[in-house]
Amino acid sequence: MTVVEDTDVVMATYAWPSNAELIAACARLGYLKGQLRTLDATYGKGTFWKQWRPDALVTNDIDPESDSDWHADFRVLPFAAGWFDAVVLDPPYKLNGTPTEAVDRRYGVDVVASRRDRMQLIRDGITECARVLGGGYLLLKCQDQVNGGKVRWQTIDFTEHAERCGLGLVDRLDILSYRPQPEGRRQVHARRGSSSLLVFKRGWSWRDDVAPSVIGAAS
């Protein structure tokens, strides 16, 4: 039997060549729409928007060298509550202890920070992005990773925090990539070969026993 690949199908796990193709896939799924006011809270060099870009995109990056509209900390955004229909957040989720690569600056991890501080940084970013988000979607990049001898489940931690902010997990897209095992280190956990894009929506719940309006009521 011949299997015909449907190139229009967006797979939950796929080796997207870049984040630009990933964002384009999210637009095909309807999580991003051209006419809606969209915020990229961590614009960087704008690589997310090389394949698809909404008409009403507002860009922000704390780096003054970034060609973004605003240069604010994503934990303290200069926008009114509920101003955006969609928000994209690609925070420095890499939990490295000591920077060793030139690329670390690009990912915002060129300054030594504790694991707890970096995780809290991202939680605070989720809280702020939830504040400026109206009834649409928050797209968050993160990665489950081994650090300090344990698997740090960012996808679980940030999903739970988003729920406390009134956002429920709608979808998860895993981006496959290959990362070799560091030389001289004994492997004790399955190698993490992917990062994740979590898609949250205001008032949404995947649980049958929890009404959407209940999510975030205690936050």
Q: What is the pLDDT of residues 164-175, one digit of tens each?
A: 999 999 999 999
What pLDDT, on the 0 to 100 scale, is given for residue 36? 95
Q: Say which CATH topology domain 28-180+194-202 has.
A: Rossmann fold (3.40.50)
Cβ atoms within 10 A of the Cβ of 6, count?
8
Q: Which amino acid is at 138?
A: L
What pLDDT, on the 0 to 100 scale, is given for residue 218? 41
If you ran DSSP here, which 8-state letter would residue 107 be given? T
Domain ranges of the chain: 28-180+194-202
What pLDDT, on the 0 to 100 scale, is given for residue 167? 96
How, if at all, do strands 194-202 and 57-59 pair? unpaired
What pLDDT, on the 0 to 100 scale, is given for residue 166? 94
Average pLDDT of the residues of the chain: 85
What pLDDT, on the 0 to 100 scale, is given for residue 178? 62
Between the two ends of the chain, the Cα-to-Cα distance in Å is: 53
- What's the rounded Cα separation, in Å, for the pair 160 and 104? 27
What pLDDT, on the 0 to 100 scale, is given for residue 146? 80
What pLDDT, on the 0 to 100 scale, is given for residue 5? 47
- What's the rounded Cα separation, in Å, for the pair 175 and 158? 17
What are the per-10-residue average pLDDT scores of the chain (219 residues)? 58 92 96 97 96 96 94 97 98 73 57 85 97 96 87 94 96 83 65 86 83 48
- What's the rounded Cα separation, in Å, for the pair 125 and 73? 9
